[in-house]
Amino acid sequence: MSDPRQTPLVRSLPSTVPFVAPERLEAERGVTFDARLGANELPFGPSPKARAAMAEAVEDIWKYGVADMPALRGAIAARHGIAPEAVTVGEGIDGLLGTLVRLYVAEGDAVVTSDGSYPTFNYHVAGVGGVLHKVPYRGDFEDPEALVARAAEVGAKLVYLSNPNNPMGSVHDAAAVQAMIDSVPEGCLMVLDEAYTEFAPASSRPEIDTTDRRVIRFRTFSKAYGMAGARIAYGIAHPEIAGSFDKIRNHFGVNRIAQAGALAALGDEPWLADVVEQVARGRDRIARIAQQNGLTPLPSATNFVTVDCGRDGDHARALLAALTARGVFVRMPGVAPLDRCIRISVGTEAELDVLAERLPLALRDLGAG
């Protein structure tokens, strides 16, 4: 029964969690996974400098975090050659998306995204009563031209693109992304989610221009920096857009430990470069394992590989279930025709050994079934 004291909008919404945690699946199964390869985390963890900084910050955890984060915002700004006023920091990209949607979307406002793209964005839009308009992928890529065309058609307040893309791992080059920015219709803001950009070639990133009011870019410490559990990310935009987050954001939402870790991580370029190399090797190994089992790995610019299972969504879901039963946690896209695939995150060598051993067994289970 819904609580009648809640708003009509909230009462109309389902209780949903965009991603079921592997810990919940482990509790249901009564056993832990031997290979945690589904959440696009970085099993190598944060840099030693970030670990040390976070350990030291524990001593001051009795204090609130620094609300305006001048040191961290300054370091992010210096890294990108922009002014600190063009940077906003929040509780992961998920938290930043939630604040962004509250800033720009009123009940009934149109928002455009790709059908099958990052579901947490959709969750936030639904939470404020926005109206989602979805366009299909073009092959295994989001379709920038179709996105902006639909945004113009419906008078969208926001249009969302992830580059590199989750869940497919595909990436557009900088020229295609810039062309989308240049085509954003009047009255609309482009949301460019670059969570995986450190794994992608530099040629996929258009130049940052904080004088451009048509786009906001989001980046995170969850992926290449190995700090998913710390919940910290940042946005880059025109200073008036970035500054508007201060109107409604949770000012103490980013804790001191996360702030310290992110600041130290930015100062450890050799570690980041090594991580990117390790992830590239891991992607190659996942691709080989898939091919050895008659599956087709898709090109990836992320820390995961999307694997085409060769049939339909029912077959891919059955394979996912078979892998789960054998102690391998993976995920998959939820919308056809993308759901012909499963998505395998880069893990440790030991975890990929488990994948290599158990993927053929899971496929054999399907054949036996």
162 and 172 together in one domain: yes
Domain boundary among 245, 268, 291: 268
Residue 308 lies in a domain: yes
76 and 205 together in one domain: yes
181 and 243 together in one domain: yes
The predicted-structure confidence for 248-279, as pLDDT tens digits, reads as follows 999 999 999 999 999 999 999 999 999 999 99
Residue 119 lies in a domain: yes
Residue 77 lies in a domain: yes
141 and 254 together in one domain: yes
Q: How many domains does the chain have?
A: 2
Residue 1 lies in a domain: no
The predicted-structure confidence for 197-233, as pLDDT tens digits, reads as follows 999 999 999 999 999 999 999 999 999 999 999 999 9
Residue 2 lies in a domain: no
368 pLDDT more than 80 = no
The predicted-structure confidence for 275-284, as pLDDT tens digits, reads as follows 999 999 999 9
The predicted-structure confidence for 37-93, as pLDDT tens digits, reads as follows 999 999 999 999 999 999 999 999 999 999 999 999 999 999 999 999 999 999 999
Residue 59 lies in a domain: yes
Q: If you search the block for the tokens 């839009």, which residue do you land on?
A: 125
259 and 281 together in one domain: no
182 and 228 together in one domain: yes
pLDDT range class, residue 17, cuts 50, 70, 90: confident
CATH number, domain of 332, equals 3.90.1150.10
Domain boundary among 239, 268, 297: 268
Domain boundary among 242, 268, 294: 268
202 and 333 together in one domain: no
Tell me which residue range forms the domain holding 14: 8-45+270-368
369 pLDDT more than 60 = no
pLDDT range class, residue 20, cuts 50, 70, 90: confident
41 and 52 together in one domain: no
Q: Which residues contact 311 (CB under 8 A, 6 or more apart)?
A: 340
CB 60 within 8 A of CB 256: yes
CATH number, domain of 220, equals 3.40.640.10
160 and 209 together in one domain: yes
